[in-house]
Structure 1
């Protein structure tokens, strides 16, 4: 992450379950809906191990995953993250950035189980990000090292 960005690594969750659990509603300065975390050793044959960039935990969802600033009037810049598919090759994740329910940005990434995908967006002045997966099989995806500027 850039020096002025916060790295969300999922490795500092208070009283983290050693395997997997739902993300706290308020974590790392954001509100999370449909978000989970997992120790990558829990499912060693999954693609989650390719989503990790640091530590042993990643965030995951089968979507839609919603991240919001804690105050509706606050904004953030979504700089980047790394992602991988959890269980199926060739899934797509549509990422949409909003400010006050107005869509400002959108991008779609194709994810595979055995490849880490670097997502670099640099979306500014947003207060909500929605990750919506689609594709055949299980649309679960993992992510790590989200770089956010508040």
Structure 2
């Protein structure tokens, strides 16, 4: 069994997500997230206790939406480099680079972004933007005339 473990901090909550990425003979387990809460102990010490389930992976989806929105709204004309996108994400969301990295990891597996090779650099586009800029569609208009969208 192979388990990918990642720590998270969001709005003061701490926790971990466990992704069961590889099983030898069985189907993988469902991903799991657990939230922890800091509690005070006697003598000025503290400890973390399990505070319940929390789906940090679903919370990451909000960041994936934000990342696509940034690509669409700020970089619609020419796309963005990875560095430009990360810088804009961190600046506009006031979150950490690790939040961006988690969102980007999920986005790369999806069809929501297009990675265009530009020499040695890559340009990133929101998928719907790339579709619009690549080849304008020709739509049949009423009356048999044709117009470009």
Higher relative contact order (CA 8 A, sep 6+): 1
Indicate the structure (1 or 2) with the bigger Cα radius of gyration. Answer: 2
Structure (1/2) with the larger helix percentage: 2
TM-score, normalised with respect to structure 2: 0.23
Structure (1/2) with the larger strand percentage: 1
TM-score, normalised with respect to structure 1: 0.23
